[in-house]
Structure 1
Amino acid sequence: MQFEHLNPKKHDRKSFDCGLEALNLYLQRGTNQDQRRSLTRIYVLAEEQQLIGYYSISAHSVSRDNLPSEIKLASYRDVPFLLLGRLAVDKAFQGQGYGDALIFHAFKTTMEAAEKIGILGMVVDAKNENAASFYEGFGFKRLKGSRNRLILPLSIMAALVKD
């Protein structure tokens, strides 16, 4: 099992089923075009061609007015983040820690990017309340004015990756 970029010619996207149709359809129909246009990068955890899970990551910004009150950035209107756009684990592998493995890989990818470009952390749009709770378990905080948009500053992420 290994992490790698999604390869449409190698990885079996058709049999992937995480239980959420929107995440399945994105993997099957949206990933090729988004990657070709450099809108996102898709990382997969796979055993040969079988996909265990995937996540997408891309550049994003958040209005400083929506940040939690403990983050004060008076000189910036929009603050750079990386967007964890989607994260899903196939139903056959759910409940076995693969979601944690995917998010920690995303954290490491974010930390590597932060060494080269300026970003404050990671932002995610949780698909539902269960997903929001999953992210809150890692220290993500909900943004003001949004039900399921959450952020995780690099400082918290670094502590998680270090442990």
Structure 2
Amino acid sequence: MDFSLYTHCVLLAYNEEVRKQCSAFSCGNTELDKFFEKDAENYAVEMLGKSYCWVTDDEQKQIVAIFTVSNDSIKTKDLLSSSKNKLQRHINNLKRGRSYPAVLIGRFAVNKLFQGNGYKIGSQTMNFIKSWLIEPDDKTACRFLVVDAYNKESVLSFYLSNNFLPLFKTEEEEKAFYHISTEEQLHTRLLYFDLKIR
């Protein structure tokens, strides 16, 4: 299916007014649906994250995808040498430091009506975010895009196919970094994308 977000949709700040103008949204994940229905606006009011959505530009408006972004950073002080070296590989030695500016994709969902079938809405949205953050008129600099992705094969595969990399080589390394016991399940994996080498 030849469907382009740029051709068939408009990007809007996500709020109650937009939600009321559109058909009901569901991505098939109860936790994400609940966040976008009840919590996204509170996050914006508290300045913890701002949500944006792609909405079809036809009469029966539908939210195709929603994402929430906020400021973040990657701190290198406690990273293992292998993770730190991988992260800093493309940063000039004179510019290397203990912390690098990043933007966190806190939540991301695609309407289940637009999942699969060749739409590639997820990848289109990731490509948009990557380009959006390096626009020349952007007010702030950020080197990395980060996401705490659900630790599920399908989710991780999506981000890896969009050129995100795991910050930690193994789940064991990530658990150790976050002081999670080895017996506990790791619910998310921290992935990053270097905007400079896109």
Aligned letter for 1:85?
Answer: G
**Distance in 2 (alpha carbons) for counterparts of 1:90 and 1:118:** 30
Aligned letter for 1:70?
Answer: K
Q: TM-score, normalised by structure 2?
A: 0.70
**Distance in 2 (alpha carbons) for counterparts of 1:21 and 1:153:** 31
Aligned letter for 1:107?
Answer: K
Report % sequence identity: 24
**Distance in 1 (alpha carbons) for counterparts of 2:23 and 2:87:** 42
- State which drifts further: 4-13 or 32-41: 4-13
Tell me whether 1:104 sits opposite 2:127 in the alignment.
yes
Partner of 1:85: 106
Check 1:119–1:10 CA distance in 2 against 1; reply closer, same or farther (3 A cut): closer
Structure label with greater radius of gyration: 2
Alignment of 1:30-45 (within 5 A): 30-45=39-54
Structure 2 unaligned blocks of 5 or more:
1-8, 175-187
Aligned letter for 1:112?
Answer: E
**Distance in 2 (alpha carbons) for counterparts of 1:132 and 1:79:** 23
Q: What's the offset of the Cα at 1:141?
A: 0.7
Alignment of 1:54-65 (within 5 A): 54-64=66-76, 65=79
Q: What's the offset of the Cα at 1:112?
A: 2.8
Structure 1 unaligned blocks of 5 or more:
158-163
CA-to-aligned-CA distance 1:90-120 (integer Å, 9 cap, x gap): 1111011111221122112221389532322
Partner of 2:26: 17
**Distance in 2 (alpha carbons) for counterparts of 1:7 and 1:18:** 17
**Distance in 2 (alpha carbons) for counterparts of 1:70 and 1:42:** 30
Alignment of 1:138-153 (within 5 A): 138-144=162-168, 145-146=173-174, 148-153=189-194
Equivalent pair of 2:123/2:162 in contact (CA under 8 Å): no
Partner of 2:86: 70
**Distance in 2 (alpha carbons) for counterparts of 1:106 and 1:79:** 18
Q: TM-score, normalised by structure 1?
A: 0.83
